[in-house]
Chain A
Amino acid sequence: MLRVVSGVSLTAERGQVTALLGANGAGKTTTLECAQGLQKRTGGTITLLGQDPAAAGADLRSRVGVMLQDGGLPPSARPIPLLRHVAGLYANPWPVPELVERLGIDAFSRTTVRRLSGGQKQRLALAAALIGRPEVLFLDEPSAGLDPQSRQVVFELIAELRDAGMGIILTTHLMDDAQRLADYVYIIDGGRNVAEGTVQELLQRDHGVTPGAEQVRTLVFDADPGLEFDGVLPPGAEILEVRAGSYTVTGALAPAHLAALATWWEARNIMPTAMSLQARSLEDVFLDISGKDVR
């Protein structure tokens, strides 16, 4: 239904949350703004609901909701009149009172936009993006500035709209957002997409793990530096000394690996100073792919 091509190809489907994940300056917002028709693209093709967004008319714009990174709300406006005004631009808007209640906007309906907190502004901007009952929703950094409660409300609504068939494309630099919300993730780096897949696929990427494994775990432990573990573990996992005295076991970890390691320690009377079993996060994948350099 929706296809973004800019040197690389991105596709977002109805009824899915598609996340563009990347560091600051990776090209997420630019990609989004080209798809929204806000920026002129220099090449490539973009198809949004079967049309080119650069030549979008009012019909296409009415089917697409946009929440900008900076909100785009007039500072002197009050939430309800602003939403009423935006609602009036659509033939069949979402009733303002319903949306206001749903996003908790009634709690600050008398305050001007200028005096709202970051999270309140975000919720208002989301309401403004949703008021036309769009089929496609673009969210640029939707959780920026949200407190945990707001975040819960916003995420639940996004999941619900997705389940109701809306196609949602969001950008984020927060791995946690993508992990919680996204059905499909594109990792953007240096203006290209460098990896893609479901969250599960990305977590299992390049680790030789059979797809379908419930969770990919990493065992980390600290012990004396320079230990040699050749042939200690059964196949499927390996031990790396990432820093002197810090070891990481990666792969399809099974109880047999833990047992083998424990037996080896017992035989040599070695007690690790710290040990923990961690779920591999999207952040690990992201850092693997786009490198650990700050840019």
Chain B
Amino acid sequence: MNGTPATTGPAPSPGAAGNPGGSTLSGPATLFRRVLLQGKYEALAMLRNGEQLILAIILPLLALVGLTVTPFLDGMGASRINVAVPGILALCAMSTAFTGQGIATGFDRRYGVLRFLSTTPLGRGGLIAGKALSVLVVLCLQVVVVTLVALLLGWQPPAAGWLPGLLLLVLGAGAFTALGLLVAGTVRPEATLAITNLLWILLGALGGIVIPGERLPGAAQAVVHYLPSGALGESLREAFLGGTLNGAAALVLLLWTVIAGAAAIRWFKWN
């Protein structure tokens, strides 16, 4: 039409570049499909990442074996394995939702991936929903793997424990996802890496996740029930040892989700 140089490359098909502006052509996939795709993409990315796999599967399994061959959990009124497994499931939730997801989000932010995806039909809301979905997908796989290994090691969970147990795991994943996003969205990715790994170790050891609160030092016992780690670890043990749902712990997890989520919405920096 004007001074445009003649094209020499392979011509795109008429349906493609021939009418890229045709309004009948542009359009988003459905919200459901967008979130589902993003969840799948992020879950696969997490599962293909060696460090993430170590954090999500290997370390919890090592901790499980460690707790069943040492006397740490003796004298709790139940077998070592029965006390250990709920804590390991709680540790899995923290690994994936907080540390794994937080680190991935932090680096996505650094590389502009969050900004790019928020310009696509996915948008910011879809991106967060996709991340939450990927956390649940990976957590499901972790629960299956840990359960299978635990059953082989002699775990005997009461049937009544599963419903409250899974509900609490979802609540815990929500709280840790919100916390992970808060860290990832406010500090540099290197700091996110350090903070989420350090907290994973600290909360894992002293936060009431795998070691029950009554086995912790006095000062830790006072606060551990108000931490997301303690609330999740303690309530999961109650669920899988007695088949009960600890409403107060569920409320603590919900509060952490709401507070960390609101803080993340307020302070998250997209670039």
Contact = CB atoms under 8 A, between A and B. Distances in A.
Interface residues of B, number: 50
A169 B70 CA distance: 65
Interface string B94-138: 000000000000011001111111111111001000000000000
Interface stretch (B10-18, B149-157, B174-182): B10-18
A5 B122 CA distance: 26
A164 B7 CA distance: 13
B116 A128 contact: yes
Nearest to A66: B119
A165 B107 CA distance: 37
A98 B14 CA distance: 11
Interface of B: 1-2, 4-5, 7-10, 12-13, 16-23, 25-29, 31, 33-34, 37-38, 41, 45, 48-49, 107-108, 111-123, 126, 270-271
A157 B12 CA distance: 9
The B contact surface, by secondary structure, is loop
Nearest to B270: A38
Interface stretch (A70-78, A202-210, A276-284): A70-78
Contact of A133 (B7, B25, B108, B118): B25
23 contacts: A15-B21, A57-B123, A58-B126, A59-B27, A61-B28, A63-B27, A70-B112, A71-B111, A74-B113, A75-B107, A89-B29, A90-B26, A91-B27, A91-B29, A94-B16, A98-B13, A99-B16, A101-B10, A130-B20, A133-B26, A135-B23, A160-B17, A165-B20
A135 B26 contact: yes
A17 to B, nearest CB: 10
Contact of A166 (B10, B13, B21, B270): B21
B27 A156 contact: no
B27 A163 contact: no
Given A68-B119, A72-B115, A134-B20, 14 more contacts: A58-B31, A59-B28, A61-B28, A61-B119, A61-B121, A66-B116, A74-B108, A88-B37, A89-B34, A90-B26, A98-B13, A156-B8, A164-B17, A165-B19
